[in-house]
Amino acid sequence: MRNMINDISSNKRDVIAQKWKNELSTLKNLCISSKITPDMFEQLNEEFLDMMIRYINQNDIEKDQTLHRFFDKVLQLNMPLKFLTQGLQTFRRVILDVLLQEDVKKEKAIDIYQHVDRLIDPLLNEVVEESSLFWEKTVSAQKTALMELSAPVIPVLENITVMPLIGTIDTERAKLIMENLLDGVIKNRSLVVLIDITGVPVVDTMVAHHIIQAADAVRLLGATCILVGIRPEIAQTIISLGIDLSYFPTKSTLLKGIEHALEITNQQLLKK
């Protein structure tokens, strides 16, 4: 029976290729929208089919890493996962179609069906697993990058540190901000910390609460917190929400904040 499949898959390659292409042409638009030229798509398709036929003949995934490499390549190209899964499903269907067009008995047909199933299913699993691993890696890399960019502490002058905040602040990030801020104060022996919220789009009660908490914690360590980068619309929201920020100094720009910080630390910038 193996031989039969092998024979058919190599002898009827053209028929299989024709059917396969017809079935997959619906996917073309989907793939081409993601920066892939029609030529490239044809080429990939051809390669895919070649490999599948070779795989059916060899009947072993582990022996040959070409399939793995092909999956990786497709994923690297940002092709939709659908290209692979549908490709495999189509291949199964086409093979069965072609096989069943031969004159075979019912039992044999069932045998063939099961055999093809056993060949294709592990491949499908493989594809899904590989792509999910690929995405997991991407997501975790992005997460680390985001964490690193999330709350940097920058020493600018002696005893003066700046923490610029960009983007929305949620509870998880607020925690990270507070930890980084306190560690930064200890590490740089800061007397004044400026929190710059120029890049924070919305300041609601929750964000303000987090900022107040951070400022209080900084004060407990013995440093002063200055909130800078308060835009007019943020000043309006803060006041209309009834948030009290009068416990610590606030300034409109980072420059004014630094001037104030210099005053607190008894320092002065001199022009030469």
Partner 1 sequence: MRIPILKMHEYLLISIQVELDDQTALQFQEDLLKRIHDTGAKGVVIDLTSVDMIDSFIAKVLGDVVRMSKLMGAQVMLTGIQPAVAITLIDLGISMREVPTALDLEQGLDKLRLELEE
Q: Point out which residues bind partner 1 (CB under 8 A).
A: 178-179, 182-183, 185-186, 189-191, 213, 216-223, 247
Those residues whose C-beta lies under 8 Å from the C-beta of residue 238, and which sit 6 or more positions away, are: 203, 208, 230, 245
CB nearer partner 1, residue 51 or residue 217: 217
Angle value at C-alpha 98, between 97 and 100, nearest 5 degrees: 65
Q: Write down the least CB distance from residue 221 to partner 1, Å.
A: 5
Cβ–Cβ < 8 Å for 220, 251: no
Q: Write down the least CB distance from residue 195 to partner 1, Å.
A: 15
Which residues on adjacent β-strands are paired with residue 227? 195, 250
Three-state SS for 94-147 is HHHHHHHHCCCCHHHHHHHHHHHHHHHHHHHHHHHHHHHHHHHHHHHHHHHHHH
CB nearer partner 1, residue 67 or residue 218: 218
DSSP state of 250: B
CB nearer partner 1, residue 74 or residue 191: 191
CB nearer partner 1, residue 43 or residue 171: 171
DSSP state of 228: E
Q: Write down the least CB distance from residue 223 to partner 1, Å.
A: 6
CB nearer partner 1, residue 1 or residue 186: 186
